Amino acid sequence: MRSSKTWIYYGGSLLLLFGAVLLGLMSSSVTISPGTIAGIVQSRLLGQPLPEGIPQSEASIIWEIRLPRVILAMLVGACLALAGAAFQGLLRNPLADPYTIGVSSGASLGAVCVIFFQWTFLGAFTLPLTAVAGGFVSLLLVFSLVRLSSRSMAIETIILAGIILSAFIGSIISLIISLGSQDEMTQIIYWLYGSVAMRGWSYVTLSLPFAVLGAVLLLSRTRDLNAMALGEEAAGHVGVSVQRGKVLILTGASLLTGAAVAVSGTIGFVGLVIPHLVRLVTGPDHRHVLPVSMVIGGAFLITADVAARTLIAPQELPIGVITALIGAPLFAFLLVQRRIGKGREG
């Protein structure tokens, strides 16, 4: 019975992802049929001429615009949801999210500095690489604060350090925005809202290695997360190296968050709501929570991006606005349900 349920979890989540990918490739100002999409992708992957009857314009739309955008949305959603599931498991708090540790704030500050000071020392990759670097610097600062204030990496201390750092970085970003021109202010604010528009294959190529490395780190620590759910002392008794596990989990989750923010800006609620929903279905076992969250997160962000570019077409909404409009009411509902459930248990 348990094995059949597991297949349902993974089969259902992959089916949702496939449907979201197909929707993302078909839907926009020009609707393209699934058969045409399949022919275009096959011809590009195999280096063959386009099938007869498929215009070059549609091939360019799919291969150069929609496909990299859909893949990037899938990667960002998967990164945020997987990082959120890991943070929630590590902090033993289903309401935690990837931004608790302050990494997204650091990545955002790096990107804002590139826009404001017009840095171009790395060409087109200046903004995303600087954002990733900002995320890692934030992680190091959080670790330093924790080490200075406590001998052990207590969960409460990590959360407090992340909140302090996020508040400080947020004030710096606000200062930069207030000092900028109207054009710079608009550009920075739009970027902070989050978007995967006008990102080509170069952004996919940049984010993929970080996504794979972070995912491997987290998916290899599911036993540690399951043990830590019982408490740090209990995890130590069953042979888990608690301190090493914390560092690896935080590093993997922060790597995923920094990489996502680097290529898409700040997108909220994905890492908060998706793991919580998945946990309600699969239960608390992180062997299933993490990979299913990753798949559902990718499908969710692709769908949100479709809504962002079709609701008020030909204009586009920032994808962060869509995730907030969907995620905030859903999160409020989950909070109420959680409180009602606890009341019934009491």
Q: Where are the domains of the chain?
A: 68-345
68-345: CATH homologous superfamily?
ABC transporter involved in vitamin B12 uptake, BtuC (1.10.3470.10)
Q: Which tokens belong to 321?
A: 């606005």
Tens digits of per-residue pLDDT, 154-176?
A: 667 877 888 889 999 999 999 99
Q: Model pTM? A: 0.89
pLDDT at 336: 79
Tens digits of per-residue pLDDT, 200-251?
A: 898 898 889 889 999 999 999 999 999 988 777 778 877 888 888 888 998 8
Can you list the residues of the chain whose pLDDT is less than 70?
1-4, 95, 151-155, 338-346
Residue 330: which residues within 8 A CB-CB, separation 6 or more?
269, 273, 277
